[in-house]
Amino acid sequence: MTPTVARRCASGFTITEVMIAMTVLLFVFMSALAALTIGFRMLEEARTSTLASQILQSEMENLRLKNWTQLNALPATEPFTIEVDTSLAGFPKFSCTRSLYTVQADIRQAVLTAAWVSKDGRARSRRYVTYIAKEGINDYFYRRF
């Protein structure tokens, strides 16, 4: 081997090649960081939405345990509170409302709503709707049709 060929084989990368490699690596790391940030935000939103659903489901079960007289004694619309302070666990404060509407003489519609503000400042809400009949909803459907 001639001295110039040996020197060319032993030489390292040029500064341009190193800069291109660093730019590609920087792009990969920034993309991964952005993907992680979006993933954590989606995970937080899913956890909060699940907690709101659990709160509404619990209140829905409380309504179903009431008899017809107790259900009719409730106000048409009122806020309801949850017994656990969710802010201690890092969750937002939920604003929960229960609304009862008379559909027919023996049927009431219950609408439960939970609203909160997410960490990115957007207003979010979850809503459950059900019907409660004096003699049970199954009996109503069987007699009607």
List per-residue pLDDT tens for the chain, 145 residues long: 566 655 555 567 789 989 999 999 999 999 999 999 999 999 989 999 999 999 999 999 999 889 899 999 999 999 988 777 766 677 888 999 999 999 888 889 999 999 999 888 899 999 999 999 887 766 545 555 5
Q: Are 92 and 114 in contact (CB under 8 A)?
A: no
Nearest to 66 by CA among 120, 2, 124, 132: 132
Token pair, residue 32, equals 């991964």
Identify the pLDDT of residue 83.
Answer: 74
Identify the pLDDT of residue 120.
Answer: 85
- Pairing of the two strands 77-80 and 95-104: antiparallel
Token pair, residue 49, equals 């939405």
The number of residues in the chain equals 145
Identify the pLDDT of residue 76.
Answer: 93
Identify the pLDDT of residue 99.
Answer: 96
The rounded distance, in Å, linking the Cα atoms of 79 and 114 is: 10
